[in-house]
Amino acid sequence: DSFRVLACSDTDGLNMIITLDGEEAWHSDFIHETGVDTLPDFVSHPSFSGIYEQSVGQLQVCKNNLKIIRIGLKDIPDPLDPPTSLLYTTNKVELGEKNILVCHVSGFYPAPVNVSWTRNGQKVTEGTSINVPFPNEDFTFTQISRLQFVPQLGDIYSCSVEHPALKEPLTRIWDVDVPQPGVGPAVFCGVGLIVGLLGVAVGTFFLIRGSELIGRG
């Protein structure tokens, strides 16, 4: 399932987001005046032609609606819903090959969250990005932060999420652990060789023993 979300704020202007199966697939970037396809490399990419131009045309309408909503809700206290998070890569991990870590934060209210990254305990800002929050069907929000990185064996990354509903940051850990070639085939080969040699030795023993008995007979 896919749907389109149009959102605006007093500070960040307008943002249009298209989601596919609950994941962001595209969003508008008003700083660079373009649309951004955020789908990973291993899935098919639909055409988003003309979507950015539509979001530009709807900017003033969204801001007018925002003013009306703010007046109507000014005396209603905000509920607090804490976020949950997932941390994963967009592509298969290959040592020394560029990849993207995704910190998927969802289920929180109000928006936004603050997301920070570390590598081996040191704060990382270069190569990080975060989209504007987009609403879920239950009126909570989802926000996605990304970190471009090059996997090196033994590196440990973390994504920490801060939100008013949390007493302490919500942190997820991800370490570079590329599976090494298994030793199973070599072990089985060695065991097979030993069993084979034992079989030859036992066969030789019975052959010699049988010859001795025949000679005596």
The mean predicted confidence, pLDDT, of the chain is 78
pLDDT digits (tens, 9 = 90+) for 57-68: 787 788 788 888
Residues in the chain: 217
Mean pLDDT of 136-159: 94
Distance CA 152, CA 31 (A): 33
What are the C-alpha distances in Å from 94 to residues 60, 91, 111, 151, 188? 45, 9, 35, 7, 28
**What is the per-residue pLDDT for 179?**
66
The pLDDT of residue 173 is above 90:
yes
pLDDT top residue among 85 and 62: 85
Residue 17 burial class via C-beta count within 10 angstroms: exposed 0-12, middle 13-18, buried 19 and up: buried
Which range among 40-49, 134-143, 163-172, 194-203 has the greatest average pLDDT? 163-172
Instruction: Return the CATH number of the domain spanning residue range 2-73.
Output: 3.10.320.10
pTM over 0.75: no
One-letter amino acid at 52 equals: Y
Mean pLDDT of 119-142: 91
The pLDDT of residue 215 is above 70:
no
Please identify, in words, the CATH class of the domain defined by 84-175.
Answer: mainly beta
For the chain, state the CA radius of gyration.
30
Q: Which residues of 96-117 are buried (b: 16+ CB within 10 A; e: fewer)?
A: eeebbbbbbbbebbebbbebbb
CATH 2.60.40.10 domain position(s) in the chain: 84-175
CATH 3.10.320.10 domain position(s) in the chain: 2-73
Mean pLDDT of 96-123: 96
